[in-house]
């Protein structure tokens, strides 16, 4: 299996690491730490050294309760970092945005992937048409509502089938606008319009999302469901995250989205060794 990203075909035989780079002052995990351009670039360089295959740049918080920001503000935060990264690294760059106007500018600059946490629900046909035009990679995430409303939209009659059904509608929306199947990766949206019990059930049944026939990305990193069982603050959830990442690898997920790339790289390697696939290393 591969992922078509611009003019590249990215192999997905091994689990890829997507490093989170928050350029916001109010993200749930590390808000404000990397809002300075030089600090952001230093963090990006660290994640690349530690083995990140993709850097995911976000300039609007999607945590529960977060207020939206304008496209102009998003671009003000994104462009100084994006331009420097595209000039100085060949690492794939993903833009975490639900705004087609932001996506267009970033894709014109050379970004490779759009990570749409609304699954085209907020961004609509314009985003899908941009993905087709630029042949970019697209991450379609499942979410109900917006950051302001999603915590009130966690009622499911049958969790896994409902998420799969809603993802299928979002897939069809993309395909109907000319996006190729090979450009799409699915993210079931751990913690987005799901309570902690839902997120654990999703982790236990990740293979169900693979049955949709697309590569799958999982983003358990430092999420509140991990804090629910460990009692740990956001900054102390790396061990719990590593457990979730290892399980995701065993379940067959193709990409994991994480904050602590180096530690999670080790978790991925060990899980792949246990799984018995795609592990090459000199001892």
**Residues annotated as catalytic (active site), given as ranges:** 223, 257
Distance CA 34, CA 146 (A): 24
Sheet strands (E) in the chain: 2-5, 8-11, 16-22, 54-58, 92-96, 113-116, 137-141, 184-187, 217-218, 255-258
Residues 205/207/213/214 CA torsion (nearest 10 deg): 90
The closest of 189, 271, 215 to 1, measured between CA atoms, is 215
Cβ pair 20, 257 in contact under 8 A:
yes
Q: CB-based contacts of 34: which residues, under 8 Å, 6+ apart? A: 21, 22, 23, 40, 43
Distance CA 43, CA 22 (A): 10
Distance CA 28, CA 257 (A): 15
Cβ pair 38, 146 in contact under 8 A:
no
Q: CB-based contacts of 46: which residues, under 8 Å, 6+ apart? A: 261
């Amino acid at each position: 299996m591969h992922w078509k990203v611009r003019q590249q075909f990215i192999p997905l035989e091994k689990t890829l690491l997507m490093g989170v780079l928050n350029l916001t002052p109010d993200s749930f995990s590390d808000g404000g730490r990397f809002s300075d351009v030089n600090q952001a670039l230093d963090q990006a360089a660290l994640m690349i050294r530690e083995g990140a295959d993709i850097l995911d740049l976000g300039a609007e918080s999607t945590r529960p309760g977060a207020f939206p920001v304008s496209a102009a503000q998003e671009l003000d935060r994104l462009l100084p970092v994006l331009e420097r990264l595209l000039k100085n690294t060949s690492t794939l760059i993903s833009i975490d945005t639900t705004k087609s106007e932001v996506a267009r500018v970033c894709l014109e600059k050379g970004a490779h992937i759009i990570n749409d946490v609304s699954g085209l629900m907020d961004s609509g046909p314009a985003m899908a048409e941009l993905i087709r035009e630029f042949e970019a990679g697209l991450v379609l995430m499942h979410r109900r509502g917006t950051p302001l409303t999603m915590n009130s939209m966690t009622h499911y009659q049958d969790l896994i089938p409902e998420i799969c059904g809603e993802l299928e509608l979002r897939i069809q929306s993309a395909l109907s606008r000319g996006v190729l199947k090979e450009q799409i990766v699915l993210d079931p949206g751990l913690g987005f319009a799901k309570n902690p019990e839902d997120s654990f059930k999703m982790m236990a049944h990740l293979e169900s999302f693979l049955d949709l026939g697309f590569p799958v990305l999982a983003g358990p990193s430092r999420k509140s469901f991990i804090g629910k069982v460990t009692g740990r603050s956001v900054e102390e959830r790396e061990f719990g995250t590593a457990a979730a990442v290892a399980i995701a690898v065993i379940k067959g997920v193709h990409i994991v989205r994480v904050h602590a790339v180096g530690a999670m790289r080790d978790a991925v390697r060990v899980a792949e060794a246990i799984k018995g696939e795609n592990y090459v290393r000199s001892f």
